[in-house]
Structure 1
Amino acid sequence: MKTPFITEAEAMKEDFKGRTNYWMCRPEITNAEGLQVCRAVLPAGEGHNFHTHPELEEVIYVLEGEVEQWVGEQKQLLKAGEAAHMLPGVVHATFNLSDKDAVILAILTPGSQVGPFMVDVSGEEPWASIRG
């Protein structure tokens, strides 16, 4: 049985566009069957461009700073303590417009999928030009 306690040092680390994502809960590292949790730092001016998770439901919870969060064609500025929810297949994006790091917690379910984890749609319309 895998340990129920995960430190940042024990997290599954993923290098993603110059930053490190810390997967704190996934079937590969915990006994989780239906849950994935990732702590990610978005440096100033950076973000996670428009994409979708075809089979995964997701909540983005802001731990520190603020982000411009897109869900479909709607956007809202989220501050620490605020969240956004995306159903499977819904296009979304998260951008840090500030001059300080933003820290988010991404919570996804289920714990695994058959198809691709993520599909980048940032080069497709309307996503390629929606931020104008």
Structure 2
Amino acid sequence: MMKNVDKNAIATHSFDWGLIKWSVTPDSIEGAKVTFGEVVLLPGKGHDRHNHPDSEEILYVLSGEGEQTIGDGEPFPVKAGDVIYIPTAAFHSTYNTGWETLRLLAFYNPGGAEKGLTGLPDFQELPAGEIQSYTRTK
């Protein structure tokens, strides 16, 4: 039985807006029923409004500051220490409004919703140990 997950030994999912490392998924850990990962949103970037039809989501903000939407509600600010609950199938988005990266822990219950991200047009998978570089475009 696995006791810990080495983040350097798992792939990184890369998008135009940031990165995700899924440490626990039902496909990667035998018997796991949830998904857990770390999300990094680049300054001024975020993911578009979307939903997870079969999973609720919890976000925990580790660092940075941003703006969150859930359902048809008004956007609200988020910062380090905040916990955001997103009900099953609720549309939502998260944007980094600060100058530093916005780091989040993401949980899906039940797990599996992460598979939908692999179909996005900007998705790339970096092999374990490969490091994503940040570059300035202008």
TM-score bracket, normalised by the shorter chain, equals 0.7 to 0.9
- Matched pairs, number: 117
In 1: Cα distance, 2:43 partner to 2:108 partner: 24
Which residue is 1:124 aligned to? none
Q: Output the aligned Cα RMSD.
A: 2.1
Higher helix share: 2
Percent identity, please: 27
| Higher RCO structure, 1 or 2 (CA under 8 Å, sep 6+) | 2
> Which consecutive unaligned segments of at least 5 residues does structure 2 have?
121-138
> Which consecutive unaligned segments of at least 5 residues does structure 1 have?
121-132
Which residue is 2:129 aligned to? none
- Give TM-score, length-normalised by structure 2: 0.75
Say whether 1:101 aligns with 2:120. Answer: no
Which residue is 1:50 aligned to? 49
Which stretches of structure 1, 4 residues or longer, exceed 6 Å deviation after superposition?
none
Deviation, 1:19, is 3.0
Counterpart residue type for residue 68 of structure 2 = Q
Q: Report Cα offsets for 1:12-57 as digits up to 9, x if no partner.
A: 4212225321001112222343210110111100001100001011
Counterpart residue type for residue 7 of structure 1 = D
- Give TM-score, length-normalised by structure 1: 0.78
In 1: Cα distance, 2:30 partner to 2:3 partner: 7
When residues 102 and 18 of structure 1 are mapped into structure 2, their CA distance, relative to the original with a 3 A threshold, is closer
